[in-house]
Amino acid sequence: MTNLLEARDIWFSYDGRNYIIKGISMTIGSGRMYMIFGRSGVGKTTLLKLFKGILKPVRGEIRYKERTIINNAQVRRDSYSAIGYIPQGFGVINNLTVLDNVIVGALSRVSTLSSLIGRFPEHEVKKAEEILRMLKIHDLCYTKVSRISGGQRQRVAIARALMQNPEIILADEFISQLDPVTSLEVLNDFKRLAEQRKIGVVITTHDIQLAPSYADEVLVMRGGEIVFRAVHGMIDERDLVSAMR
Ligand SMILES: Nc1ncnc2c1ncn2[C@@H]1O[C@H](COP(=O)(O)OP(=O)(O)O)[C@@H](O)[C@H]1O
Ligand SMILES: [Mg+2]
- Each residue's pLDDT expressed in tens, for the chain with a length of 245 residues: 789 999 999 999 999 999 999 999 999 999 999 999 999 999 999 999 999 999 999 999 999 988 888 888 888 877 678 999 999 988 899 988 999 999 988 776 665 555 555 667 888 899 999 999 999 999 999 999 999 999 999 999 999 999 999 999 999 999 999 999 999 999 999 999 999 999 999 999 999 999 999 999 999 999 999 999 999 999 999 999 999 99
Report which protein residue has its CA nearest ligand 1's atom 8: 46
Query: How much is the pLDDT for 22?
Result: 98
Nearest-ligand number for the alpha carbon of 46: 1
Nearest-ligand number for the alpha carbon of 14: 1
Report which protein residue has its CA nearest ligand 1's atom 3: 14
Tally of domains in the chain: 1
Here the CATH number for the domain that contains residue 18 is 3.40.50.300
Report which protein residue has its CA nearest ligand 1's atom 11: 41
CB 30 within 8 Å of CB 200: yes
Residue 73: CB atoms within 10 A of its CB come to 8
Atom nearest to 15 CA in ligand 1: 4
CA nearest to 98, candidates 155, 150, 176? 155
Q: Which residues have any ligand 1 atom within 6 Å of their CB?
A: 14, 20, 38, 40-46
Report which protein residue has its CA nearest ligand 1's atom 18: 45
User: Which of 10, 18, 20 is the best mutation target for the ligand 1 pocket, counting ligand atoms within 8 Å of the beta carbon and taking the most?
Assistant: 20
Query: How much is the pLDDT for 118?
Result: 62
pTM to 2 decimals? 0.94
Q: Which helix (H) or strand (E) holds 68?
A: strand 67-70
| Dist CA 212 CA 94 (whole Å) | 34
CA nearest to 138, candidates 160, 156, 118, 124? 156
* Domain of 19, in residue numbers: 3-244
| Dist CA 24 CA 128 (whole Å) | 36
Distance 222 CA to ligand 2 centre (A): 13
Which whole-number Å values give the CA distances from 6 to 1, 30, 150, 189, 231, in the listed order?
A: 14, 12, 32, 26, 17
Single-letter residue type at 228: F
